[in-house]
Homo-oligomer: A and B are copies of this chain.
């Protein structure tokens, strides 16, 4: 697997196009992130298909009761997902059920979000990090386009931070790395590009420079 720190979000509903891009960039990126729209359009087996060519992060923003959370997490684990994203505002029992069902699949908990109006979550990031530590998460999701939130969260943990909000949501990969992100999520700028391989390589280089300067 490459030393890239780039996670490519395939926020697509065209399963064949998603698989085509995954196969073309799978070896040059850290992981490929998929979410519910792609599952709805195809089925849960897309996780396993992409897992053959790349690490897969299931961005399922899990936020239900423990029983349902466990079934979702177990499914992703059985399909070979490297990581899974869960909310933490639903509380300790809810998040712990995800961690317990995930086995080796790494659980990232959302403690701040990248979209406008996410104050109820972002203002509670300390409480959410406390819940997440008690649940035993592997790492955190913190917004790469809200750098003050990201650096506050960085100060409070040595765990892996994965940052969305780059590109179409206004953030820059290099800024997110400098503010403390370990992994950077980029979507439309790559999967909507005419040449995703070149687009991914350009971001890999931007990230590598920022890592050197850090």
List the interface of chain A (C-beta within 8 A of B).
11, 13, 35-37, 39-44, 59-61, 63-68, 71-72, 75, 87, 89-94, 113-121, 124, 127, 131, 164, 169
Contacts and interface: CB of A to CB of B under 8 A. Distances in A.
A81 to B, nearest CB: 11
A37 B79 CA distance: 13
Contacts of A169: 65
B75 A40 contact: yes
A212 to B, nearest CB: 31
Contacts of A59: 64
Contacts of A36: 36, 60, 64, 68, 72
A212 B11 CA distance: 49
A127 B120 contact: yes
Contacts of A115: 65-66, 90-91, 93-94
Given A39-B39, A40-B72, A93-B115, 12 more contacts: A13-B71, A36-B36, A36-B64, A37-B72, A37-B75, A39-B43, A40-B43, A40-B75, A65-B169, A66-B115, A90-B121, A92-B117
A44 B41 contact: yes
A71 B94 CA distance: 25
Contacts of A89: 63, 87, 89, 120-121
A13 B67 CA distance: 13
Contacts of A75: 13, 37, 40-41
Contact of A63 (B43, B87, B92): B87
A21 B89 CA distance: 33
A46 to B, nearest CB: 10
A59 B93 CA distance: 19
B116 A90 contact: no
Contacts of A63: 61, 63, 87, 89
Contacts of A42: 43
A36 B37 CA distance: 11
Contacts of A41: 43-44, 75
